[in-house]
Amino acid sequence: MTRPKASRARLRPFRVRDAADLCRIYPMFFVDNAVHFGGGQLTVADVGGCAVGFVLWGPAFEPAWFDRGVTRWAELNELHVHPDFQNRGIGLRLVRAAIGQARAAGFPVMYLMVEADNGKARRVYERAGFREHNRIARYKVDLQKKSQTPRLAETRARRSAAL
């Protein structure tokens, strides 16, 4: 099988007329990122005047509670490439662009979060130089089932039996 050619997409800043293209890739992008959009930097991959991918990063609003001593940091908030344009190196170029922009803006460090099973995105991030820093566990309780926590009486009975 021949490897598809690397894309010649041109990376450039977002323009308002790209909004419809971005919504075709990620319909809730502007809703989900309203809080990040103002201070962030949005770069698109342009093919023939259409935005086929984008990366959004920006300054974080809080100290890095997961990395003591870090007070100023950038966060990569979003990375998306339209399925028809994936596997041509656009994702990697966008991540590298975001890293370069954050460095040029004087940020000492950039973080991002990604689902553990999103292997494709993780490989792109790692190729760009990111390394896993810490893991966050997702917990769940099924609220339709009867309480899964021991009842108070059971707990007391267990305690008194142990005395």
Ligand X SMILES: CC(C)(COP(=O)(O)OP(=O)(O)OC[C@H]1O[C@@H](n2cnc3c(N)ncnc32)[C@H](O)[C@@H]1OP(=O)(O)O)[C@@H](O)C(=O)NCCC(=O)NCCS
Give dist(CA 74, CA 40) in Å, integer: 9
Residue 4 binds ligand X, judged by CB under 6 A? yes
Map residues 101-130 to x or -, x wherever contact with ligand X holds by CB under 6 A.
-------------x---x-xx-xx------
Is 50 strand, coil or helix?
strand
| Chain residue at closest Cβ approach to ligand X | 91
Binding mask 49-88 for ligand X (x = CB under 6 A): ------------------------------xxx----xxx
Give the number of residues written for the chain: 163
Q: Which of 18, 89, 102, 110 binds ligand X (CB under 6 A)?
A: 89
Locate 136 and state its tokens: 């966050």
90 binds ligand X (CB under 6 A): yes
The CB-of-52 to ligand X minimum distance in angstroms stands at 9
> Structure tokens of 107?
């940020």
Q: Is residue 91 close enough to count as binding ligand X by CB under 6 A? A: yes
Q: How many residues bind ligand X (CB under 6 A)?
A: 20
Q: Which is nearer to ligand X, 7 or 160 (CB)?
A: 7
Question: Rounded to whole angstroms, how far apart are CA atoms 38 and 121?
Answer: 25
> Coil, strand, or helix at residue 128?
coil
CA quadruple 145, 136, 105, 23: dihedral sign: negative
